[in-house]
Chain A
Amino acid sequence: MIRFLYADSLTTHSRLAASMFQDRAKQFSERLGWEVSVNAAGEERDQYDALNPLYVIWQRPDGLHGGSMRFLPTTARCMTHEHFLHLSDGAPVQSPFVWECTRFCLSQNGGPQTAARLMLAGAALMEGQSLTHFLGVFDAPMERIYRQIGASPEILGSVGQGRSKTSLGLWSYTPAAKARLVQKAELSDAMMQHWYRRAFGAMPPPKSNAA
Protein backbone atom coordinates (compact mmCIF):
# COMPACT_ATOMS: atom_id res chain seq x y z
CA MET A 1 0.00 0.00 0.00
CA ILE A 2 0.94 3.65 -0.29
CA ARG A 3 1.82 5.29 2.99
CA PHE A 4 2.14 9.02 3.58
CA LEU A 5 4.35 9.28 6.67
CA TYR A 6 6.20 12.11 8.34
CA ALA A 7 9.62 11.19 9.69
CA ASP A 8 8.36 11.39 13.27
CA SER A 9 5.85 8.63 12.49
CA LEU A 10 8.49 6.25 11.15
CA THR A 11 9.23 5.05 14.68
CA THR A 12 6.02 3.01 14.57
CA HIS A 13 7.09 1.47 11.24
CA SER A 14 10.67 0.57 12.05
CA ARG A 15 11.07 -2.39 9.62
CA LEU A 16 9.64 -0.35 6.77
CA ALA A 17 11.81 2.65 7.65
CA ALA A 18 15.02 0.61 7.94
CA SER A 19 14.38 -1.04 4.57
CA MET A 20 13.71 2.35 2.98
CA PHE A 21 16.97 3.87 4.22
CA GLN A 22 18.84 0.69 3.18
CA ASP A 23 17.32 0.79 -0.30
CA ARG A 24 18.33 4.43 -0.53
CA ALA A 25 21.92 3.44 0.29
CA LYS A 26 21.80 0.79 -2.47
CA GLN A 27 20.41 3.21 -5.03
CA PHE A 28 22.27 6.41 -4.30
CA SER A 29 25.57 5.12 -2.94
CA GLU A 30 26.08 1.75 -4.67
CA ARG A 31 24.24 2.07 -7.99
CA LEU A 32 24.55 5.80 -8.70
CA GLY A 33 27.80 6.38 -6.82
CA TRP A 34 26.60 9.61 -5.20
CA GLU A 35 28.67 10.86 -2.30
CA VAL A 36 26.07 10.21 0.37
CA SER A 37 26.74 8.99 3.90
CA VAL A 38 25.80 5.43 4.77
CA ASN A 39 25.82 4.38 8.45
CA ALA A 40 26.88 1.10 10.03
CA ALA A 41 23.37 -0.32 9.56
CA GLY A 42 23.73 0.27 5.82
CA GLU A 43 21.24 3.16 5.86
CA GLU A 44 21.55 6.34 3.86
CA ARG A 45 20.29 9.42 5.71
CA ASP A 46 21.08 13.08 5.33
CA GLN A 47 20.39 16.31 7.21
CA TYR A 48 17.03 16.76 5.48
CA ASP A 49 15.72 13.52 6.95
CA ALA A 50 16.17 15.32 10.28
CA LEU A 51 13.80 18.15 9.25
CA ASN A 52 10.76 15.90 9.61
CA PRO A 53 10.02 15.55 5.91
CA LEU A 54 6.97 13.76 4.55
CA TYR A 55 7.72 10.40 2.92
CA VAL A 56 5.49 8.80 0.36
CA ILE A 57 6.26 5.09 0.45
CA TRP A 58 5.14 2.08 -1.53
CA GLN A 59 5.00 -0.69 1.05
CA ARG A 60 5.30 -4.17 -0.42
CA PRO A 61 3.01 -7.00 0.71
CA ASP A 62 5.86 -8.32 2.89
CA GLY A 63 5.82 -5.00 4.78
CA LEU A 64 9.10 -3.76 3.37
CA HIS A 65 10.00 -0.78 1.24
CA GLY A 66 9.26 -0.96 -2.48
CA GLY A 67 9.91 2.66 -3.37
CA SER A 68 9.66 6.10 -1.88
CA MET A 69 10.13 9.82 -2.22
CA ARG A 70 10.63 12.64 0.25
CA PHE A 71 8.85 16.00 0.45
CA LEU A 72 9.69 19.32 2.10
CA PRO A 73 8.14 22.78 1.65
CA THR A 74 10.12 25.16 -0.57
CA THR A 75 9.29 28.05 1.77
CA ALA A 76 11.65 26.69 4.44
CA ARG A 77 15.00 24.89 4.53
CA CYS A 78 15.22 22.24 1.86
CA MET A 79 17.80 20.39 -0.18
CA THR A 80 17.39 22.04 -3.57
CA HIS A 81 17.94 25.51 -2.11
CA GLU A 82 21.05 24.48 -0.23
CA HIS A 83 22.67 22.01 -2.61
CA PHE A 84 21.26 22.50 -6.08
CA LEU A 85 21.05 26.29 -6.23
CA HIS A 86 23.51 26.20 -9.15
CA LEU A 87 20.85 24.28 -11.11
CA SER A 88 18.09 26.56 -9.95
CA ASP A 89 18.41 29.42 -12.42
CA GLY A 90 20.36 31.45 -9.87
CA ALA A 91 17.68 31.82 -7.21
CA PRO A 92 15.49 29.32 -5.41
CA VAL A 93 11.87 28.64 -6.32
CA GLN A 94 9.87 29.42 -3.16
CA SER A 95 6.14 29.03 -2.98
CA PRO A 96 3.60 27.61 -0.51
CA PHE A 97 2.16 25.76 -3.52
CA VAL A 98 5.40 24.05 -4.56
CA TRP A 99 6.89 21.25 -2.47
CA GLU A 100 10.33 19.82 -2.99
CA CYS A 101 10.53 16.14 -3.92
CA THR A 102 13.89 14.42 -3.46
CA ARG A 103 15.35 10.93 -2.93
CA PHE A 104 13.01 9.23 -5.38
CA CYS A 105 14.09 5.68 -4.71
CA LEU A 106 13.04 2.34 -6.17
CA SER A 107 13.86 -0.92 -4.43
CA GLN A 108 15.28 -3.58 -6.72
CA ASN A 109 12.53 -5.86 -5.43
CA GLY A 110 9.80 -3.28 -5.79
CA GLY A 111 8.01 -4.53 -8.88
CA PRO A 112 7.57 -2.82 -12.24
CA GLN A 113 4.53 -0.78 -11.20
CA THR A 114 6.26 0.94 -8.29
CA ALA A 115 7.40 4.12 -10.06
CA ALA A 116 3.92 4.70 -11.48
CA ARG A 117 2.36 4.00 -8.08
CA LEU A 118 4.57 6.60 -6.43
CA MET A 119 3.85 9.10 -9.17
CA LEU A 120 0.13 8.48 -8.77
CA ALA A 121 0.49 9.03 -5.02
CA GLY A 122 2.27 12.29 -5.87
CA ALA A 123 -0.73 13.30 -7.97
CA ALA A 124 -3.07 12.63 -5.05
CA LEU A 125 -0.81 14.65 -2.77
CA MET A 126 -0.60 17.55 -5.23
CA GLU A 127 -4.35 17.65 -5.68
CA GLY A 128 -5.18 17.17 -2.03
CA GLN A 129 -2.76 19.80 -0.79
CA SER A 130 -3.69 22.41 -3.45
CA LEU A 131 -0.15 22.35 -4.84
CA THR A 132 0.65 23.40 -8.38
CA HIS A 133 4.04 21.69 -8.83
CA PHE A 134 6.78 19.62 -7.24
CA LEU A 135 10.36 20.79 -7.42
CA GLY A 136 12.52 17.73 -7.93
CA VAL A 137 16.09 16.58 -8.26
CA PHE A 138 16.39 13.52 -10.43
CA ASP A 139 18.90 11.50 -12.38
CA ALA A 140 18.88 10.47 -16.04
CA PRO A 141 17.04 7.12 -15.58
CA MET A 142 14.33 8.86 -13.54
CA GLU A 143 13.96 11.53 -16.19
CA ARG A 144 13.26 8.74 -18.68
CA ILE A 145 10.62 7.23 -16.38
CA TYR A 146 8.91 10.60 -16.01
CA ARG A 147 8.96 11.10 -19.78
CA GLN A 148 7.51 7.63 -20.44
CA ILE A 149 4.67 8.37 -18.06
CA GLY A 150 4.03 11.65 -19.82
CA ALA A 151 4.78 13.79 -16.79
CA SER A 152 7.93 15.37 -18.23
CA PRO A 153 9.36 17.93 -15.87
CA GLU A 154 10.39 21.39 -16.96
CA ILE A 155 14.16 21.23 -16.46
CA LEU A 156 15.61 24.25 -14.66
CA GLY A 157 19.18 23.06 -14.87
CA SER A 158 21.36 19.95 -15.22
CA VAL A 159 24.84 18.86 -14.28
CA GLY A 160 26.84 15.83 -15.44
CA GLN A 161 26.45 13.62 -18.48
CA GLY A 162 24.82 10.35 -19.44
CA ARG A 163 23.74 8.14 -16.56
CA SER A 164 25.24 10.45 -13.97
CA LYS A 165 23.32 13.48 -15.22
CA THR A 166 21.42 15.16 -12.39
CA SER A 167 18.66 17.64 -13.10
CA LEU A 168 16.44 20.00 -11.20
CA GLY A 169 12.96 20.49 -12.56
CA LEU A 170 9.37 21.39 -11.89
CA TRP A 171 6.72 18.79 -12.51
CA SER A 172 3.02 18.60 -12.56
CA TYR A 173 0.35 16.26 -13.93
CA THR A 174 -1.89 16.64 -16.92
CA PRO A 175 -5.16 14.65 -16.78
CA ALA A 176 -3.79 12.50 -19.62
CA ALA A 177 -0.62 11.75 -17.65
CA LYS A 178 -2.72 10.79 -14.63
CA ALA A 179 -4.80 8.41 -16.74
CA ARG A 180 -1.61 6.75 -18.03
CA LEU A 181 -0.34 6.45 -14.47
CA VAL A 182 -3.50 4.69 -13.32
CA GLN A 183 -2.94 2.17 -16.11
CA LYS A 184 0.77 1.64 -15.43
CA ALA A 185 0.28 1.55 -11.67
CA GLU A 186 -2.36 -1.19 -11.98
CA LEU A 187 -4.19 0.56 -9.19
CA SER A 188 -7.48 2.40 -9.29
CA ASP A 189 -7.62 6.07 -8.52
CA ALA A 190 -10.26 5.21 -5.88
CA MET A 191 -7.72 3.01 -4.07
CA MET A 192 -5.18 5.84 -4.08
CA GLN A 193 -7.80 8.26 -2.76
CA HIS A 194 -8.55 5.81 0.03
CA TRP A 195 -4.88 5.70 1.09
CA TYR A 196 -4.66 9.45 0.83
CA ARG A 197 -7.73 9.92 3.03
CA ARG A 198 -6.29 7.54 5.65
CA ALA A 199 -3.39 9.95 6.01
CA PHE A 200 -4.92 13.36 5.43
CA GLY A 201 -8.70 13.15 5.59
CA ALA A 202 -11.17 14.01 2.88
CA MET A 203 -10.00 15.20 -0.52
CA PRO A 204 -11.31 18.60 -1.54
CA PRO A 205 -14.19 18.28 -3.98
CA PRO A 206 -13.23 19.07 -7.57
CA LYS A 207 -13.77 22.72 -8.36
CA SER A 208 -14.36 24.48 -11.65
CA ASN A 209 -13.27 28.00 -10.81
CA ALA A 210 -10.78 28.20 -7.98
CA ALA A 211 -10.56 31.68 -6.48
Chain B
Amino acid sequence: MLEALEQASELSELQALSERLRDYFQVDHLVYHWVSGTGTQYGCGTYDPAWVELYIERDYLRIDPVVTGCFQRFHPVDWKMLDWSGKPAKAFQAEALAHGVGNQGFSVPIRGPSGQFALFTVSHHCDDATWASKVEAARRELILVGHYFNQKALEFEPDRAPEAARALSPREVDAMTFLAMGYSRAQVANTLSISEHTLRVYIESARFKLGAANTTHAVARALQHGLIIV
Protein backbone atom coordinates (compact mmCIF):
# COMPACT_ATOMS: atom_id res chain seq x y z
CA MET B 1 0.00 0.00 0.00
CA LEU B 2 2.64 2.51 1.07
CA GLU B 3 4.78 1.37 -1.84
CA ALA B 4 2.05 2.50 -4.20
CA LEU B 5 1.92 5.81 -2.33
CA GLU B 6 5.64 6.21 -2.76
CA GLN B 7 5.44 5.60 -6.49
CA ALA B 8 2.57 8.01 -7.02
CA SER B 9 3.66 10.66 -9.49
CA GLU B 10 0.47 12.62 -10.00
CA LEU B 11 -2.16 14.14 -7.79
CA SER B 12 -4.83 11.98 -9.44
CA GLU B 13 -3.03 8.94 -8.09
CA LEU B 14 -3.47 10.25 -4.55
CA GLN B 15 -7.23 10.04 -5.13
CA ALA B 16 -6.99 6.37 -6.08
CA LEU B 17 -4.69 5.79 -3.10
CA SER B 18 -7.08 7.40 -0.66
CA GLU B 19 -9.65 4.81 -1.76
CA ARG B 20 -7.22 1.95 -1.24
CA LEU B 21 -6.13 3.32 2.13
CA ARG B 22 -9.78 3.56 3.19
CA ASP B 23 -10.11 -0.16 2.50
CA TYR B 24 -6.82 -0.87 4.24
CA PHE B 25 -7.92 0.92 7.42
CA GLN B 26 -11.42 -0.55 7.08
CA VAL B 27 -13.20 2.73 7.54
CA ASP B 28 -16.11 4.31 5.66
CA HIS B 29 -14.08 7.32 4.55
CA LEU B 30 -10.57 8.68 4.25
CA VAL B 31 -9.96 12.29 3.30
CA TYR B 32 -6.92 14.51 2.79
CA HIS B 33 -7.41 18.26 2.68
CA TRP B 34 -4.77 20.96 2.48
CA VAL B 35 -4.71 24.73 2.64
CA SER B 36 -1.47 26.41 1.54
CA GLY B 37 0.01 29.57 3.04
CA THR B 38 -1.50 31.54 0.16
CA GLY B 39 -4.95 30.02 0.63
CA THR B 40 -4.88 27.46 -2.19
CA GLN B 41 -6.97 24.42 -1.37
CA TYR B 42 -6.66 20.88 -2.50
CA GLY B 43 -8.49 17.79 -1.39
CA CYS B 44 -8.97 14.19 -2.25
CA GLY B 45 -10.79 11.34 -0.61
CA THR B 46 -13.80 9.15 -0.56
CA TYR B 47 -16.66 11.43 0.54
CA ASP B 48 -19.76 11.54 -1.63
CA PRO B 49 -19.05 14.14 -4.37
CA ALA B 50 -22.45 15.71 -3.59
CA TRP B 51 -21.22 16.35 -0.02
CA VAL B 52 -17.96 17.87 -1.25
CA GLU B 53 -19.91 20.13 -3.60
CA LEU B 54 -22.29 21.22 -0.85
CA TYR B 55 -19.35 21.75 1.53
CA ILE B 56 -17.68 24.13 -0.93
CA GLU B 57 -20.90 25.83 -2.00
CA ARG B 58 -21.95 26.59 1.59
CA ASP B 59 -18.40 27.48 2.63
CA TYR B 60 -18.55 24.93 5.45
CA LEU B 61 -14.82 25.43 5.94
CA ARG B 62 -15.80 28.29 8.25
CA ILE B 63 -18.21 26.20 10.32
CA ASP B 64 -16.76 22.69 10.29
CA PRO B 65 -15.62 22.04 13.90
CA VAL B 66 -12.96 19.65 12.59
CA VAL B 67 -11.31 22.46 10.61
CA THR B 68 -11.79 25.19 13.19
CA GLY B 69 -10.71 22.83 15.99
CA CYS B 70 -7.60 21.52 14.23
CA PHE B 71 -6.40 24.59 12.37
CA GLN B 72 -3.18 25.90 13.90
CA ARG B 73 -2.92 22.87 16.16
CA PHE B 74 -0.85 19.76 15.81
CA HIS B 75 -2.23 16.94 17.93
CA PRO B 76 -4.54 14.34 16.33
CA VAL B 77 -8.15 14.73 17.39
CA ASP B 78 -11.06 12.40 17.89
CA TRP B 79 -14.13 14.26 16.66
CA LYS B 80 -15.84 13.69 20.00
CA MET B 81 -13.34 16.11 21.55
CA LEU B 82 -14.46 18.97 19.31
CA ASP B 83 -17.09 21.57 20.05
CA TRP B 84 -20.28 20.60 18.19
CA SER B 85 -22.54 22.64 20.47
CA GLY B 86 -23.25 25.71 18.37
CA LYS B 87 -26.35 25.90 16.20
CA PRO B 88 -24.41 26.13 12.88
CA ALA B 89 -22.18 23.23 13.95
CA LYS B 90 -25.22 21.10 14.81
CA ALA B 91 -26.83 21.83 11.45
CA PHE B 92 -23.55 21.05 9.72
CA GLN B 93 -23.25 17.76 11.58
CA ALA B 94 -26.78 16.71 10.61
CA GLU B 95 -26.00 17.50 6.98
CA ALA B 96 -22.73 15.54 7.15
CA LEU B 97 -24.46 12.52 8.68
CA ALA B 98 -27.12 12.66 5.98
CA HIS B 99 -24.34 12.46 3.38
CA GLY B 100 -22.82 9.38 4.97
CA VAL B 101 -19.75 10.99 6.52
CA GLY B 102 -20.23 8.88 9.64
CA ASN B 103 -20.75 9.62 13.31
CA GLN B 104 -17.10 8.97 14.22
CA GLY B 105 -13.93 10.62 13.01
CA PHE B 106 -10.24 11.01 13.71
CA SER B 107 -8.19 13.82 12.14
CA VAL B 108 -4.45 14.35 12.04
CA PRO B 109 -3.50 18.02 11.59
CA ILE B 110 -0.21 18.51 9.76
CA ARG B 111 1.93 21.61 9.54
CA GLY B 112 4.03 21.85 6.41
CA PRO B 113 6.50 24.46 5.14
CA SER B 114 5.58 28.14 4.57
CA GLY B 115 2.33 28.06 6.51
CA GLN B 116 0.92 25.07 4.67
CA PHE B 117 -1.67 23.20 6.69
CA ALA B 118 -3.33 19.87 6.02
CA LEU B 119 -5.81 17.52 7.62
CA PHE B 120 -5.72 13.78 7.19
CA THR B 121 -9.01 12.25 8.30
CA VAL B 122 -10.69 8.89 8.64
CA SER B 123 -14.40 8.69 9.44
CA HIS B 124 -16.75 5.85 10.14
CA HIS B 125 -20.19 4.80 11.33
CA CYS B 126 -20.04 2.71 14.50
CA ASP B 127 -20.41 2.89 18.28
CA ASP B 128 -17.92 4.66 20.55
CA ALA B 129 -16.17 1.56 21.90
CA THR B 130 -15.61 0.06 18.46
CA TRP B 131 -14.25 3.36 17.21
CA ALA B 132 -11.93 3.86 20.16
CA SER B 133 -10.30 0.46 19.69
CA LYS B 134 -10.09 0.92 15.90
CA VAL B 135 -8.36 4.29 16.25
CA GLU B 136 -5.98 3.14 18.94
CA ALA B 137 -4.92 0.11 16.92
CA ALA B 138 -4.17 2.27 13.87
CA ARG B 139 -3.18 5.54 15.57
CA ARG B 140 0.56 5.48 14.91
CA GLU B 141 0.05 4.28 11.38
CA LEU B 142 -2.55 6.98 10.69
CA ILE B 143 -0.17 9.69 11.90
CA LEU B 144 2.61 8.25 9.74
CA VAL B 145 0.46 7.89 6.62
CA GLY B 146 -0.99 11.36 7.13
CA HIS B 147 2.45 12.98 7.20
CA TYR B 148 3.57 10.85 4.31
CA PHE B 149 0.49 11.78 2.28
CA ASN B 150 1.27 15.43 2.92
CA GLN B 151 4.87 15.06 1.79
CA LYS B 152 3.65 13.50 -1.46
CA ALA B 153 1.08 16.24 -1.99
CA LEU B 154 3.76 18.89 -1.41
CA GLU B 155 5.94 17.26 -4.06
CA PHE B 156 3.15 17.80 -6.57
CA GLU B 157 2.56 21.46 -5.75
CA PRO B 158 3.10 23.14 -9.13
CA ASP B 159 4.85 26.32 -8.00
CA ARG B 160 6.62 24.99 -4.96
CA ALA B 161 10.06 26.39 -4.20
CA PRO B 162 12.82 23.90 -4.94
CA GLU B 163 13.51 22.20 -1.69
CA ALA B 164 16.97 22.24 -0.23
CA ALA B 165 18.56 18.82 -0.32
CA ARG B 166 17.31 16.89 2.65
CA ALA B 167 20.52 16.41 4.53
CA LEU B 168 20.86 13.47 6.86
CA SER B 169 22.81 13.98 10.06
CA PRO B 170 25.93 11.87 10.66
CA ARG B 171 23.95 9.75 13.16
CA GLU B 172 21.20 9.19 10.61
CA VAL B 173 23.77 8.28 7.94
CA ASP B 174 25.36 5.80 10.37
CA ALA B 175 22.02 4.20 11.18
CA MET B 176 21.03 3.91 7.49
CA THR B 177 24.46 2.58 6.51
CA PHE B 178 24.46 -0.21 9.08
CA LEU B 179 20.88 -1.14 8.19
CA ALA B 180 21.92 -1.27 4.51
CA MET B 181 24.75 -3.60 5.53
CA GLY B 182 22.15 -5.95 6.96
CA TYR B 183 22.66 -5.18 10.65
CA SER B 184 19.67 -5.77 12.91
CA ARG B 185 18.37 -2.82 14.94
CA ALA B 186 19.98 -4.27 18.05
CA GLN B 187 23.32 -4.52 16.27
CA VAL B 188 23.06 -0.96 14.96
CA ALA B 189 22.21 0.33 18.44
CA ASN B 190 25.13 -1.57 19.98
CA THR B 191 27.53 -0.35 17.32
CA LEU B 192 26.46 3.27 17.83
CA SER B 193 26.37 2.91 21.65
CA ILE B 194 22.77 4.10 21.86
CA SER B 195 19.57 2.40 22.95
CA GLU B 196 17.24 0.87 20.37
CA HIS B 197 14.67 3.38 21.62
CA THR B 198 16.93 6.28 20.61
CA LEU B 199 17.82 4.56 17.36
CA ARG B 200 14.14 4.78 16.41
CA VAL B 201 14.45 8.57 16.31
CA TYR B 202 17.29 8.49 13.78
CA ILE B 203 15.59 5.92 11.59
CA GLU B 204 12.24 7.74 11.74
CA SER B 205 13.87 11.12 11.06
CA ALA B 206 15.78 9.73 8.06
CA ARG B 207 12.61 8.06 6.77
CA PHE B 208 10.70 11.35 7.08
CA LYS B 209 13.40 13.37 5.29
CA LEU B 210 13.72 10.83 2.50
CA GLY B 211 9.95 10.77 1.99
CA ALA B 212 10.05 7.00 2.29
CA ALA B 213 7.18 4.82 3.36
CA ASN B 214 9.17 2.52 5.63
CA THR B 215 12.69 1.72 6.74
CA THR B 216 13.46 -0.55 3.78
CA HIS B 217 12.46 2.19 1.35
CA ALA B 218 14.39 4.77 3.32
CA VAL B 219 17.55 2.66 3.01
CA ALA B 220 16.93 2.16 -0.71
CA ARG B 221 16.40 5.88 -1.24
CA ALA B 222 19.47 6.84 0.77
CA LEU B 223 21.53 4.52 -1.44
CA GLN B 224 19.88 5.80 -4.59
CA HIS B 225 20.60 9.44 -3.66
CA GLY B 226 24.18 8.62 -2.77
CA LEU B 227 23.59 9.68 0.84
CA ILE B 228 25.06 6.44 2.11
CA ILE B 229 27.67 4.18 0.60
CA VAL B 230 27.82 0.48 1.30
Interface flag for A191 (CB, 8 Å): no
Q: Tell me how far the C-beta of B177 lies from the nearest C-beta in chain A, rounded to whole angstroms.
A: 15
B171 touches A89 (CB 8 A): yes
Cα distance A73–B75 when bound, in Å? 9
What are the residues of chain A within 8 A of B110 when measuring CB–CB? 75
- Tell me if B's interface is mostly helix, strand, loop or mixed: helix
Residue of A nearest to B202 (CB): A93
Interface flag for A113 (CB, 8 Å): no
Binds A, one of B57-65, B94-102, B204-212: B204-212
For the complex, count residues of A whose C-beta is within 8 A of B: 35
Interface range on chain B (Cβ under 8 Å from partner)? 35 or more
A76 with B208, Cβ < 8 A, contacts A91-B169, A205-B136 known: no
A132 touches B200 (CB 8 A): yes
Q: Tell me how far the C-beta of B190 lies from the nearest C-beta in chain A, rounded to whole angstroms.
A: 15
What are the residues of chain A within 8 A of B167 when measuring CB–CB? 90-91
A54 with B168, Cβ < 8 A, contacts A154-B194, A202-B132, A205-B136 known: no
Cα distance A76–B150 when bound, in Å? 12
A129 with B147, Cβ < 8 A, contacts A98-B204, A170-B198, A202-B132 known: no
Q: Tell me how far the C-beta of A93 lies from the nearest C-beta in chain B, rounded to whole angstroms.
A: 5
Cα distance A73–B209 when bound, in Å? 14
Interface flag for A8 (CB, 8 Å): yes
Q: Tell me how far the C-beta of A188 lies from the nearest C-beta in chain B, rounded to whole angstroms.
A: 24
Contact with B along A108-145 (1 / 0, CB 8 A): 00000000000000000000011011000000000000
Contact with B along A54-97 (1 / 0, CB 8 A): 10000000000000000011011100000000001111111111
Residue of B nearest to A98 (CB): B201
Within 8 A of B (CB), among A172-211: 172, 200-202, 204-205, 207, 210-211
Q: List 11 A-B contacts (CB under 8 A).
A: A77-B113, A90-B169, A90-B170, A91-B172, A92-B205, A94-B209, A96-B146, A97-B140, A132-B200, A170-B198, A211-B141
State the B residues within 8 Å of A (CB).
72-76, 78, 80-81, 110-113, 132, 136-141, 143-144, 146-147, 167-172, 194, 197-198, 200-202, 204-205, 208-209
